[in-house]
């Protein structure tokens, strides 16, 4: 009799679990601000992603036509120590906002809540109604539940259905109204259901997983970008030109008149005048790490007394100085890589967060960022290589400009290998770098205190490399170039087989493994800048040695001609020379081009895995 009840017990349990799941789903869809369940606070992990540092339990945005306000309620569960960062909230909103927030924790077996104090909310109006809010919530720790609510007039700039952490419930309602006309642009790959014409829902959205060589994740997550129809680039240009914190700076800066006159009357070339103005601005004001496109009210004092200012203070003053010196120069506003792509089809001033200068004078075009100390005229920081920038020409309009590196960053290796019949094998390696390759090297070099420690750092990062001596030959910030020399013992690079030796001649190569490991990819590959990697290897064989067969020379390109690789081998008497060169000719490879790019790099790795077998004469 007992056995006969088992199917009914099973059905009952399944029905109960289904009811519990439906109750939880209903609770998520109808969450009330300030009322968090005990189960949410006691939750230890998110079963669908046990590695998640936090999870968005609930996120609902609702524009109500009755009061013409956007209301948002977001609830986040902190699961690991790294998830406590979600207690520090930064929000960009189109209007002044009102905030309420609670943090829920377990204490002595009881659920307690703490509210955010007004002193923990920081407000900054970045431009005529555009605000940034920073909230620092109290006592956020592992296990906390963060409950946030705010509202403001109008619609938001964008709505994220996906984040770097899982999202259980994300809902957006935009009630139609005659007061706000807007368009929306959908991005991303996750499913979003349209429940009604102005009502969308996404559930159980996985965390966005960043891939190598990817621009900022916010460019690829599933989201809506929202923009008012009334905006146009001409309107954006007019706002910038008429603003005292932008066009007003260009038309002001009388304190730069004397220096401008000096530069104008000098016998310097245009390039030299630009370099002198750049140097003068950099000497008098340093970047305080503050972003934005509008200068601070105190930009004059920042230059003359404080000697510290925002990026807009610095580069708008540089534009003004060059204009006063009769060099045609314009400001360029842009969105840095971490701030997200600009969409030329959706005009909006709020996407801009950085300003640089652009010289377009007598067939000379130079982009400049005087806020970055380790650069020179003509080179922008990599954060600014973000596609396009808007050039503010005058009160009548502007134009788009490509923000790319015109010159490839070079990495050149000269390797001179000497084999010894007594088994003492050595090599001299000379390396030179330019542009962004130099800047990457400089960051590594400056991370240690002296040359000997840098040599140890290199030795530790290279397999089987024994450095006998290191010399830094050149480190020039002015030209963004470096050169260095390593004298190394390469006994560990050679296998002695008795009648022959096997040599790996590709010393200190950066092409020892494929950077593109995944078979498939969802998102474009973004390499920041074009590159040229060239290596020349010279090997001198003792008369007792002979090489019977040389590696085969090859030449290959990707189908789109975006990358090329050439490998050549030459022999003359007892001397062998190997040359290979990798050129990356474009910076963006689409997800459709990815398989070919991956196979291209695999072929390079295979080629540079071919060791030389050198016979000993008998």
DSSP-derived secondary structure letter, 207: P
71 versus 296: which is more confidently predicted?
Answer: 71
- Whether residue 128 is predicted with pLDDT greater than 50 in this model: the reply is yes
Q: Are 270 and 327 in contact (CB under 8 A)?
A: yes
Q: Is the dihedral of CA 211, 217, 222, 227 positive or negative?
A: negative
- Whether residue 481 is predicted with pLDDT greater than 80 in this model: the reply is yes
| Residue range 472-488: mean pLDDT, rounded | 94
Give the tens place of pLDDT for each residue, 48-66: 999 999 999 999 999 999 9
**Residues 262-271: contacts with CB under 8 Å, at least 24 apart:** 263/321, 263/325, 264/324, 264/325, 264/326, 270/327, 270/359, 270/361, 270/362, 270/364, 271/364, 271/366, 271/377
- Whether residue 24 is predicted with pLDDT greater than 50 in this model: the reply is no
Give pLDDT, residue 5.
38
Confidence band (pLDDT; 50, 70, 90) for 19? Answer: very low
Give, for 22, the enclosing helix (H) or strand (E).
Answer: helix 6-29
- Whether residue 16 is predicted with pLDDT greater than 80 in this model: the reply is no
Counting DSSP H helices and E strands in the chain, the numbers are 11, 35
Report helix angle 257-265 to 311-324, nearest 10.
50
Q: What is the CATH number of domain 233-403?
A: 3.10.620.30
DSSP-derived secondary structure letter, 399: E
- Whether residue 8 is predicted with pLDDT greater than 50 in this model: the reply is no
- Whether residue 187 is predicted with pLDDT greater than 60 in this model: the reply is yes
Give pLDDT, residue 92.
82
User: What's the first-to-final CA gap in the chain, in angstroms?
Assistant: 92
522 three-state secondary structure: coil
Give pLDDT, residue 75.
98
User: Which DSSP string corresponds to 311-360?
Assistant: HHHHHHHHHHHHHHTT--EEEEEE--GGG----TTS--GGG--EEEEEEE
- Strands in 121-127's sheet, in edge-to-edge order, are 88-93, 130-136, 121-127
pTM above 0.85, yes or no: no
Mention the CATH class of domain 409-616: mainly beta
- Whether residue 67 is predicted with pLDDT greater than 80 in this model: the reply is yes
Give the tens place of pLDDT for each residue, 496-541: 887 888 888 998 888 888 999 999 998 999 999 999 999 999 999 8
Query: Which residues 6+ apart lie within 8 Å of 353 measured at CB?
Result: 291, 292, 293, 334, 335, 336, 339
- Tell me the backbone φ, ψ of residue 237, rounded to 5 degrees: -60, -45
Query: Which residues 6+ apart lie within 8 Å of 194 measured at CB?
Result: 200
52 three-state secondary structure: coil
- Strands in 193-196's sheet, in edge-to-edge order, are 110-115, 98-107, 145-153, 69-78, 54-64, 167-174, 199-205, 193-196
Give pLDDT, residue 13.
38
The CATH number of 31-227, from 2.60.40.3140, 1.10.287.610, 2.10.260.10, 3.30.1360.40, is 2.60.40.3140
The two structure tokens encoding residue 477 = 């910030």
- Whether residue 596 is predicted with pLDDT greater than 50 in this model: the reply is yes
Give pLDDT, residue 321.
98
Give pLDDT, residue 230.
62
- Whether residue 12 is predicted with pLDDT greater than 90 in this model: the reply is no
Confidence band (pLDDT; 50, 70, 90) for 22? Answer: very low
Domain map of the chain by residue range? Answer: 31-227, 233-403, 409-616
Give pLDDT, residue 380.
95
30 three-state secondary structure: coil
458 three-state secondary structure: helix
Q: Which residues in 311-346 are b (16+ Cβ under 10 Å) and which e?
A: bbbbbbbbbbbbbbbebebbbbbbbbbebbbbbeeb
Give pLDDT, residue 499.
83
Give the tens place of pLDDT for each residue, 403-457: 988 789 999 999 999 987 776 788 999 999 999 999 999 999 998 878 889 988 8
As a whole number of angstroms, the longest Cα–Cα distance in the chain is 108
- Whether residue 607 is predicted with pLDDT greater than 90 in this model: the reply is yes
| Residue range 584-589: mean pLDDT, rounded | 94
Confidence band (pLDDT; 50, 70, 90) for 253? Answer: very high
Report helix angle 270-284 to 311-324, nearest 10.
140
Lowest mean pLDDT segment, chosen from 226-230, 265-269, 317-321, 426-430: 226-230
Q: How far from chain centre, in Å, is Cα 142? A: 28
Give pLDDT, residue 6.
40
- Whether residue 384 is predicted with pLDDT greater than 60 in this model: the reply is yes
The two structure tokens encoding residue 583 = 């050129």
The Cα–Cα gap between 10 and 131 comes to 56
Give pLDDT, residue 407.
87
The two structure tokens encoding residue 72 = 């948002």
């Amino acid at each position: 009799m007992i056995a006969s009840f088992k199917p009914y017990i099973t059905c009952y349990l399944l029905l109960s679990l289904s009811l519990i799941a439906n109750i939880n789903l209903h609770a998520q869809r109808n969450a009330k601000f300030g009322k968090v369940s005990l189960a949410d606070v006691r939750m230890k992990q998110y079963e669908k992603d046990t590695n998640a540092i936090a999870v968005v339990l609930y996120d609902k945005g609702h524009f109500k036509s009755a009061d013409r306000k956007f209301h948002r309620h977001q609830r986040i569960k902190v699961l690991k120590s790294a998830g406590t960062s979600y207690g520090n909230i930064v929000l960009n909103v189109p209007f002044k906002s009102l905030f309420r927030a609670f943090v829920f924790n377990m204490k002595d077996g009881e659920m307690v809540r703490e509210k955010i104090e007004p002193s923990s909310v920081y407000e900054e109006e970045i431009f005529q109604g555009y605000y940034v809010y920073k909230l620092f919530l109290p006592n956020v720790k592992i296990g906390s539940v963060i409950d946030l609510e705010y509202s403001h007039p109008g619609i938001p700039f964008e709505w994220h259905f996906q984040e770097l952490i899982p999202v259980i419930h994300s809902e957006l309602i935009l009630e139609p109204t005659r007061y706000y006309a807007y368009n929306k642009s959908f991005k991303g790959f996750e499913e979003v259901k349209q429940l009604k014409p102005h009502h969308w829902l996404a559930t159980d959205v996985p965390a966005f997983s960043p891939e190598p060589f990817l621009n900022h994740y916010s460019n690829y997550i599933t989201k809506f970008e929202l923009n008012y129809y009334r905006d146009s680039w001409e309107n954006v240009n007019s706002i910038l030109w008429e603003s005292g914190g932008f066009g007003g700076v260009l038309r002001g800066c009388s304190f730069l008149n004397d220096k401008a006159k000096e530069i104008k009357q000098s016998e310097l070339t245009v390039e030299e005048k630009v370099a002198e103005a750049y140097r003068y601005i950099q000497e008098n004001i340093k970047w305080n790490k503050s972003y934005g496109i509008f200068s601070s009210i105190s930009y004059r004092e920042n230059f003359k007394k404080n000697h510290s200012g925002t990026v807009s203070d610095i580069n708008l003053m540089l534009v003004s100085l060059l204009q006063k010196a009769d060099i045609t120069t314009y400001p360029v506003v842009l969105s840095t890589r971490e701030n997200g792509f600009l969409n030329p089809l959706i005009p909006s001033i709020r996407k801009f967060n950085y300003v640089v200068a652009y010289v377009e004078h007598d067939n000379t075009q130079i982009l400049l960022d005087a806020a970055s100390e380790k650069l020179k005229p003509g080179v922008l920081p990599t954060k600014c290589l973000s596609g396009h920038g808007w050039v503010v020409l005058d009160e009548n309009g502007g134009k788009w400009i490509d923000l790319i590196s015109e010159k490839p960053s070079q990495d050149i290796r000269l390797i001179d290998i000497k084999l010894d019949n007594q088994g003492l094998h050595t090599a001299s390696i000379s390396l030179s770098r330019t542009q962004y390759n130099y800047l990457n090297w400089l960051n590594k070099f400056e991370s240690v205190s002296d040359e000997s420690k840098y040599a140890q750092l290199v030795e530790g990062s290279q397999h089987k490399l024994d450095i006998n001596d290191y010399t830094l030959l050149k480190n020039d910030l002015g030209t963004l170039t470096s050169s260095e020399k390593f004298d190394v013992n390469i006994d560990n690079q050679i296998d002695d087989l008795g009648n022959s030796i096997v040599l790996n001649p590709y010393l200190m190569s950066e092409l020892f493994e494929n950077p593109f490991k995944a078979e498939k990819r969802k998102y474009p590959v973004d390499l920041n800048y074009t590159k040229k990697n060239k290596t020349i290897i010279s090997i001198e064989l003792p008369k007792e040695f002979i090489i019977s067969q040389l590696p085969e020379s090859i030449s290959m390109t990707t189908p789109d001609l975006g990358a090329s690789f050439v490998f050549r081998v030459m022999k003359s008497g007892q001397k062998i020379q190997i040359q290979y060169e990798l050129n990356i000719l474009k910076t963006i490879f689409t997800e459709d081009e990815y398989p070919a790019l991956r196979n291209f790099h695999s072929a390079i790795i295979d080629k540079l895995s071919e060791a030389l077998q050198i016979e000993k004469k008998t």
